[in-house]
Amino acid sequence: MSPTRTWADPVETATGRTQWEPPFPDPEGLNPAPSASPPPAQSHNTKRRQYAAGQTQAYYGADTIAPPAGPAYGGVPTQPGQQPQLFTPGLAGDGQFAQQQVGVQPGQAPYYGQTQQEPEYINAPGFGQGATYQPPGVNALADQFSQMGVGQKGPRLFTTNLLAAPPDPLELHRPPPDIFLPPNSCLSNSPMANADSSYQRCTLNTIPTSHSLLQKSKIPLGLVITPYRTVKEGDEPVPLVTDTVIARCRRCRTYINPYVQFIDGGNRWRCCMCSMSNEVPQLFDWDQVRNQPGDRWARAELNHGVVEFVAPTEYMVRPPQPAVFVFLIDVSHNAIQSGMVATATRTILENLDRIPNEDNRTKVAFIAFDTSLHFFSLPAGTADSSMLVVSDIDDVFLPKPTDLLVNLTESRPAIESLLTRLNDMFQDNHTIGSALGPALQSAFKLMAHIGGKIQVLSASLPSVGAGALKNREDPKVLGTSKESALLQAASPFYKTFAIECSRAQVSVDMFLFSSGYQDVATLACLPHYTSGQTYFYPAFNASRTEDAIKFAHEFGEVLAMPIMLEAVMRVRASKNLRMSAFHGNFFVRSTDLLAMPSVPQDLSYAIEIQIEDNITAPFVVLQTAVLHTTCYGERRIRVITTALPTTNNLSEIFASADQVAIATLLANKAVERSLTHKLEDARDAVFNKMVEILSAYKASMTAAGAGASAQLAISENMKMLPVLLLGLLKNVGIRQSAQIPPDLRAYAQCLLTTLPSQLLIPYIYPTFYSLHNMPPECGTVGEHGTIMPQPLPLTSERLERHGLFLIEDGQTIFLWVGRDAVPQLIMDVFNLPNYEVLRGGKTTLPELENPFSQRLNAVVQKTREMRRGVYYPHLYVVKEDGEPPLRLWALSCLIQDRADVLPSYQQFISQLRDKIWENRPRRSKGFIPLLIERAGGWFAQGASAWQNGPSMTSSLLSRNRSGLES
């Protein structure tokens, strides 16, 4: 977590670290700190297999991301002292980046991970990678200057040239820019006083004091919130306040937090948002557990930015309801034949013990549907179940008042018996068609009085009854301005039904399996407005083990997820800040109250913020509160608080910009624009926003100003933003193409608007590893788990014909095999004699009895587990000369290359530069610019005249001289 720093306190009292020491580890856990311990010693009896002519060189000293190693498996050995060069297509000549890869150019910031000398100034472009020591006298003098307003205390701005700095994937693993709060702004010295960025992060970590200043920077102001991210091993658990003493502001209803002020001898507190004076609750200083006076300063809400309160009865409209799960299972011919029903019922059966049911109140129901509805009576205390068929789908009714929605514990034998037999009951079903709409209506009737979750498993396009849809897929429309119509809901039924569900506290999850068109865009309306999630398995076939494993894993994780029910969320902010637009899966009940029948873990929301009037406070506070019922029947309030300083200095605004949060917000805005306008408008909006930010930076922060410049300048902390937005433009969700099926595009848009930043960033900027020559410690267990290779830039220039590479975006893993891979590599990885017999496509890697296979499997396993979320990526083997569609799919992840009509990274940067030059403000020419322009013309004329003889040259000179004198 990036610690909150104050101007007046250069040493953190909680940790004893100076504010210039290396930052805390990456909050997402992607780039843990290197281990100080040496690597495990190699046993002298174990001989490590060598595959290349040159011996593999091992590099030690990293624990999670290892440095690049020497060649192996047929690689060409690197000459002593020679460093690999990075070449990006579209850039000038060969070796242009050689100097940047080998060493740092004069005046240029060193790259992440390189050994660097400590600069003479503090907070250098190395983001504080080492501590800077200054003699006490110098510090004292600096403090005196700062009191006089001389010098800068806050984020420091450093400029980089995008034309000369290739994207470095490791930059994305850094924490967001530090937050420099003014002195005495926080009650606590705890580094947890500000919410961790994995819960809540702002696009700017320093807020402009006026709307005009924000407009001048052109950076969008917004908040990215993941209120219920999973707590993995090593994460700080969210502290729970159990005494039901909740202090809130009487005027703005803000929850007490580390940024309030106690006044009147500690008997009152002043709100940090509206400055209202409030009384401290009587039991605030009483320890109810020990029944004695307690330590106020030890209370969790005064030390932590993320805290959860057990809510008293006044926060309840009704008593906490039990968790309810209604399973709607498609049993039409397509669903049975694909194996979906068998896989789904087996997964539910295996995960019955994982479904949240600690208080034994959880209720479940099962409804099967094709063109009719099949209800199942599950009486308690017996293993018998009976099926009740309703063929009238125009006027849906429940065939029985009891035993349809049953207690999971009491009816467990009947439930297990049904799940064991369900697939066999419909094995010979040849009905083609789907009454999904009536099935949803019946599930709603069954649970509307309680609320809960509907889990829909559908394998065909709804065709009969309410909500029936038609196949509107038209290849002629793809890639045209009419394509965006295919991404909008085709029927008003689903949105209307979703709003009814939201009112009744019913949430819907969609699991879609169709081998043909299924209209994901329309069906995704249900999860969108009921705060559920959509999962898509195109061409699902359970006879392929990989398909069955992926669905079973993801469905099982969803069933086991500790969901939050009957939730409402509101974001409050300091005076003159207003939440202006909301993005994500919820229903906006009033101007700023978001209704969420359930809140899944690791679901993200983006909110745009507007500055309504000038801000005079030295810092502002943003607080998200989520009132919910746990799936164990307890009413709680989760409060997430972030405090950010204000500034009227444009350089501090640029220096505090969070490129990951900006990319996340722009992804949400791009999807919304593609639905309300056209896909082309969404792409143009993303490109133009990048142009605006670069133009604003050039005009305000560089010496060139509005004039011509050979550089494309951006602040150091935003240098990955252009490549992130290029990845967004090349993402399936909004990419320019006439080959993307509407269902795939609609599902990609669902991911773009729901994935938390930790999953969204690799989805638009994939990860690329070289495996055949990875260091020997990669794939082994280090201090922070499996050690991963060092990620490479996303360009095919890094592919080698003899190599083995891994490309992954969090949803899919590609294992690229070069055509000249040596037989020993193929044998060690796939247990096959040579490259020719290897088949490409979806596969499961064998676990073989050799070190390289074990390390490779460990890397793949770590790739599937290292991020939050339920997703289990498929693994595809891609041969260099294999099937063209699979090759192109894998290569499309290398977003720095040119693909079809989409530009390479260097072409994209050039387009940005050209657009900035076109948009530059035009000025009337003075004498000096006119002289320079004429001199250029004279030079061209002189070069031509030189070739035509001396007489022509002399006449030109005399003519130009007379023109200048005039």
Q: Which helix (H) or strand (E) holds 222?
A: strand 222-225
- Alpha carbon 901 to chain centroid, angstroms: 26
Among residues 920, 918, 904, the alpha carbon closest in space to that of 722 is found at 904
646 within 8 A of 209, measured Cβ to Cβ: yes
- Which CATH number fits the domain 200-316+565-657, given the four candidates 2.60.40.1670, 2.30.42.10, 3.40.50.300, 3.40.640.10? 2.60.40.1670
What does the alpha-carbon distance between residue 818 and residue 74 come to, in Å, rounded to a whole number?
Answer: 11
Kindly state the DSSP code that residue 657 receives in the 8-state scheme.
Answer: B
Radius of gyration of the chain (CA): 31
Token digits for 118?
A: 């400590």
Residue 827 pLDDT: 95
Residue linked to tokens 């209506």: 441
CA angle, 659 then 660 then 663, to 5° = 85
Class of domain 324-562: alpha beta
Strand partners, 715: 159
Going by C-alpha positions, the residue among 591, 607, 574, 604 that lies closest to residue 223 is: 607
Nearest CA to 220 among 659, 870, 655?
659
- Tokens encoding 223: 């908040």
Q: Answer for the pair 436, 463: CB distance below 8 angstroms, yes or no.
A: no
User: What is residue 436's predicted lDDT score, i.e. its pLDDT?
Assistant: 95
Q: At what angle do helices 679-701 and 721-729 cross, to 10 degrees?
A: 170
Which one-letter DSSP state was computed for residue 306? E
Name the residue among 23, 621, 648 with its Cα closest to residue 273. Answer: 621
Distance CA 792, CA 59 (A): 17
d(CA 945, CA 959): 13
Q: What span, in angstroms and rounded, lies between the C-alpha atoms of 914 and 710?
A: 11
Residue 474: enclosing H or E segment and its boundaries? Answer: none
Q: Is there a contact between 526 and 493 (Cβ–Cβ < 8 Å)?
A: no
Neighbours of 87 (CB within 10 A): 18
Task: Return the DSSP state at 11.
Answer: B
- Nearest Cα to Cα of residue 261 among 243, 249, 245: 249
pLDDT the model gives residue 786: 92
Domain ranges of the chain: 154-176+658-700+712-764+900-919, 200-316+565-657, 324-562, 766-894
CA-CA distance, 315 to 287, in Å (whole number)? 22
Give the model's pLDDT for residue 899: 86
How many CA atoms does the CB half-sphere of 767 hold within 13 Å?
31
Which residues does residue 641 pair with via DSSP β-bridges, in sequence order?
A: 623
User: What's the DSSP call for residue 588?
Assistant: E
Rounded to an integer, what distance in angstroms lies between the CA atom of residue 713 and that of residue 453?
A: 50
Helices (H) and strands (E) in the chain, counts: 23, 36
Q: In what order do the strands lie in the sheet with 200-202?
A: 200-202, 222-225, 605-611, 577-583
> Which residue intervals of 718-779 are DSSP H helices?
721-729, 742-754, 757-764
905 close to 88: Cβ distance less than 8 angstroms: yes
Confidence (pLDDT) at 801: 94
CATH of range 154-176+658-700+712-764+900-919; options 1.20.120.730, 3.40.30.10, 2.160.10.10, 1.10.3720.10? 1.20.120.730
Q: Are strands 635-647 and 207-208 parallel, antiparallel or unpaired?
A: parallel
Count CA atoms within 13 Å of residue 59 on its CB side: 16
Sequence-distant (6+) residues with CB within 8 A of 225 are 199, 200, 571, 604, 605, 606, 607, 624, 640
Structure token digits, residue 352 = 């019955």
Q: End-to-end CA distance of the chain, in Å?
A: 68
Contact 781, 696 (CB under 8 A): no
CA 100 to chain centre: 29
Which residues, in sequence order, are CB contacts of 216 under 8 Å at separation 6+?
Answer: 650, 696, 700
Which residues are within 8 A (CB) of 28 and not within 5 positions of it... i.e. 6 or more apart? 173, 198, 757, 758, 867
From 776, 742, 760, 794, select the one nearest 905 (Cα to Cα): 794
Tell me, what DSSP letter sits at residue 77? P
Burial class of residue 775, CB neighbours in 10 A (0-12, 13-18, 19+): buried
CB of 932 closer than 8 Å to CB of 924: no
One of 3.40.20.10, 3.30.450.90, 3.30.1360.170, 3.10.50.40 is the CATH number of 766-894, namely 3.40.20.10
Backbone angles phi, psi at 714, to 5 degrees: -155, 155
Enter the tokens of residue 372.
Answer: 């009719």
Residue ranges, the chain, pLDDT below 70: 1-152, 704-710, 921-966
Contacts of 337 by beta carbon, 8 Å cutoff, 6+ apart = none
Sorted by sequence, the CB contacts under 8 Å of residue 888 that are 6+ apart come out as: 899
Q: For residues 661 and 220, what is the distance between their CA atoms, to the nearest angstrom?
A: 10
| Strand pairing category for 577-583 and 594-599 | unpaired
Q: What is the DSSP string of 121-152?
A: SSS-TTTS-SPPP--HHHHHHHHHHHHTT-S-
Q: 3-class DSSP state for residue 787? A: coil
Q: Enter the DSSP assignment of 41.
A: P
User: What pLDDT does residue 154 have?
Assistant: 81
